[in-house]
Amino acid sequence: MLERLPDLVNGNAALVRRGRHLSTTFLVEVGPQGWLVHVREGRIAGVEPGPFRMASWSFALRGTAEGWAKFWQPVPPPYYQDIFGLLRQGELRFEGDLLPLWANMLYVKGVVGALRGNGGAS
């Protein structure tokens, strides 16, 4: 499902500009499934599905499948409208080097939020 990110993000000029100083790879886990998201100057350069033998990433968003499914609903239920709500609900953990995440929080929210109502939960 995260394979659609290049299409959803790279055509969004405002979002790409917001992430223009970010070049990194981060991991998104949805239950047992994982994806490496490669970011180059705000554009999604590629998305690799797991499983991984030697994954290298700066930060990880590890969430439950149930939590992400609610997050990606077109109109999420209360507390599930944001990744901080998922944190609050114990449905998500931030791990790794959180500096690039915090420095680009709204961009990262925009990237994972791009899947909302776009088949993110399928």
Partner 1 sequence: MSVAFEPIVGRYLPFAFQGRTYRLYIEEAGQGIPLLCLHTAGSDTRQYRALMNDAEITQRFRIIAFDLPWHGKSSPPAGWHQEEYKLTRDFYIEVIVAVARALELDRPVVMGCSIGGRVVLGLAADHGDAFRAIIGLQSSASPSAYYDISWLDRPGVDHSEAALGAVSGLMAPMSPDAERWETLWHYMQSGPGVFYGDLHFYTVDGDLQDRLRRIDTTRCPLYLLTGEYDYSCKPEYTVEVGKAVPGAKITIMKGLGHFPMSENPALFRSFILPVLDEIARPR
Q: Which residues bind partner 1 (CB under 8 A)?
A: 75-76, 78-79, 81-85, 87-89, 98-99, 102-106, 109
Taking the complex as a whole, the smallest distance from the CB of residue 43 to partner 1 amounts, in Å, to 19
Q: Which CB atom, from 12 or from 81, has the smaller least distance to partner 1?
A: 81
Closer of 55 and 99 to partner 1 (Cβ): 99
| Terminal-residue alpha carbon distance, the chain | 7
Q: To the nearest whole angstrom, how small is the minimum distance from the Cβ of residue 2 to partner 1?
A: 20
Distance (Å, whole) CA 56 – CA 1? 20
Q: Which is nearer to partner 1, 48 or 61 (CB)?
A: 61
9 burial level (CB within 10 Å; 0-12, 13-18, 19+): buried
DSSP three-state, residue 15: helix
